[in-house]
Amino acid sequence: MKLKSLLLSISSIGLLWHVATVSALALPPIPTEPIYFEPPVVEATDNTRQFSCVELDNTIRYLHPYRYSYKPDFYQDDANKIATTLIMFDSIPIVDSIPVVKGLLGFAYLGYSTLIEEKEQRRTLQVEQQISMLQQLKAEKHCFE
């Protein structure tokens, strides 16, 4: 019993000495840039600053149809339903003579659909910013009075 306690105390002292001599590892630098897309701020040009109130109003009116996305949502898009079905049925080998792609075709389309969705969101955000810049110009010119 005495031997066990002696070995335990020696091993704990050795462990404490080892922990005290180990230096900390340096962490890699963490990027401070944003990971996600940040749209650029739309600045008014000299040409747009010279617009009259009516021209600003007309420009805003012509931009309104472009501020909406006409792409269907994920669950309303029939092509996404077909891609999901392809993933399900292509993963199951029904006949040995049919080459199985293991659902890669469906995954490829879903990736493509996501890229199109992201592009569409960026486009609508750009139009929204353009409209808000024109509305800011209208406010600076006191067009509402």
CA–CA gap between residue 83 and residue 101 (Å, rounded)? 13
- At 128, the amino acid letter reads E
pLDDT one-digit tens code per residue, 16-75: 566 556 555 666 676 666 666 677 788 888 899 999 999 999 999 999 999 988 888 878
Long-range CB contacts for residues 108-111, cutoff 8 Å, separation at least 24: 109/79, 109/80, 109/83, 110/80, 110/83, 110/84
Provide the whole-model pTM.
0.61
